[in-house]
Amino acid sequence: MKAAVLRRYKEPLQVEELALEAPHVGEIAVKVAAAGVCHSDLYVLEGATPVPPPLVPGHEAVGVVEEVGPGVDGVSPGDYVVTSFIWPCGRCKNCASGRENLCENFAKVRLKGTLLDGTTRLRDGGGGEVRIFLGGTWAERAVIPATAVAKIPRRLAKPEMAMLGCAFLTAYGAVVNTGSAGPGDTVVVIGTGGVGLAAVQVAKAVGARVVAVGRNPAKLEAAREMGAETVDVHGGDPVKAVQELTEGRGADVVIEAVGSDETIQQAVDMAALGGRVVLVGLMPVGHKTPLGLARVVRGGIAVLGSYGARPRVDLPAVIKMVERGLLSPERLAGPFYKLEQINEAVEALRSGRAIRPVVVP
Ligand SMILES: [Zn+2]
Ligand SMILES: [Zn+2]
């Protein structure tokens, strides 16, 4: 099968012919209909997230199950599925206590570029091992754990649904699970990329008042079309703007989807007393951010990391919300690219021209 392979950090991807082994215990093989291009992939391409190449990036997809390995039940060949970048083992303490997005065994292999058993199913033309970044979905096929997917009705399984598996799952985890946002809350979302705008949609869907903070006029316009009020950081201090919009109270929940020192401090400064700051923006591994802690302590502000959500609990909820018209991934997805155009798709995201480019192998 064909796949987009990263041979060396900071170099263009190459489309290569790879051999894909059959799924092992607990795994499934998915024929990829479409896969999203996400900023987390860019961090891998640049080496800021140090997964060792050669590797196939791509960690959200929609596709059809072709084959299931031993011990898999609940998913069968022919099922349409959305794949996520969270791979619960199902057995560790966190999985058993309902927090499978924080699976301890998944965390051990996440940056190794392998499946849960520490091995990979991909070989290149010379027989060399090829790794994956949380799925390896920039390819015609991918083998992933069966616990990482949710079924989607066939009529809904369009290319734009690929982004449910990372952008919308992350947004749902941040707004609903970690932020506990509800109808009486003001939710500020800093950042208007794929995750930020998905968070705008999820926060609107739970009935919150939503304020989107960003710098890209087209993306702020998209946020307004989704029902958010907006603050353009070019127009002055965004903290002051949020204070003015909330009669000096600040926001009940701030979703920080950028991951810069400046925006993390702004998130804390925008939060109301007793508010929650939810961090979903990724930064390079090892990065340290300075933070004014006096306000965190005196304000009783909770600063919370949020990583994805539960593929077997929350991803079906996200799919149901799409079915009911509460979420619209089609407003964020695109343009669409062939696998051979993968480097163009990456450039479209890097330059800020596209919110969520989608590869259609
Ligand atoms: Zn992602
Ligand atoms: Zn686990």
Ligand lying closest to the C-alpha of residue 107: 2
C-alpha dihedral (322, 325, 331, 335), degrees to nearest 10: 50
Answer whether CATH 3.90.180.10 is correct for domain 2-166+310-359.
yes
The per-residue pLDDT string of the chain (361 residues; one tens digit each, 9 = 90 and over) reads 999 999 999 999 999 999 999 999 999 999 999 999 999 999 999 999 999 999 999 999 999 999 999 999 999 999 999 999 999 999 999 999 999 999 999 999 999 999 999 999 999 999 999 999 999 999 999 999 999 999 999 999 999 999 999 999 999 999 999 999 999 999 999 999 999 999 999 999 999 999 999 999 999 999 999 999 999 999 999 999 999 999 999 999 999 999 999 999 999 999 999 999 999 998 888 899 999 999 999 999 999 999 999 999 999 999 999 999 999 999 999 999 999 999 999 999 999 899 999 999 9
Q: How confident is the model at residue 284, as a pLDDT?
A: 83
pLDDT digits (tens, 9 = 90+) for 219-254: 999 999 999 999 999 999 999 999 999 999 999 999
Q: How confident is the model at residue 300, as a pLDDT?
A: 98
Amino acid at 185: D
Report the sign of the C-alpha dihedral through residues 39, 40, 45, 49, in that order.
Answer: positive
Asked if omega into 70 is within 30° of 0 (cis), the reply is no
Domain range summary for the chain, segments of one domain joined by +: 2-166+310-359, 168-305
Residues with Cβ < 8 Å from 92, sequence gap 6 or more?
103, 104, 105
Ligand lying closest to the C-alpha of residue 38: 1
Give distance in angstroms: CA of 99 to centre of ligand 2.
8
Q: How far apart are the first and last CA of the chain?
A: 10
pLDDT digits (tens, 9 = 90+) for 277-311: 999 998 888 899 999 999 999 999 999 999 999 99
Give distance in angstroms: CA of 105 to centre of ligand 2.
5
| Cα 65 from Cα 121, distance rounded (Å) | 16
Helix pair 342-350, 39-46: axis angle to 10 deg: 110
> What does the chain come to in residues?
361
Domain at 168-305, CATH homologous superfamily:
NAD(P)-binding Rossmann-like Domain (3.40.50.720)
Give distance in angstroms: CA of 215 to centre of ligand 1.
21
Ligand lying closest to the C-alpha of residue 90: 2
pLDDT digits (tens, 9 = 90+) for 94-117: 999 999 999 999 999 999 999 999
| Cα 160 from Cα 179, distance rounded (Å) | 26
Ligand lying closest to the C-alpha of residue 37: 1
Q: How confident is the model at residue 271, as a pLDDT?
A: 98
pTM: 0.97
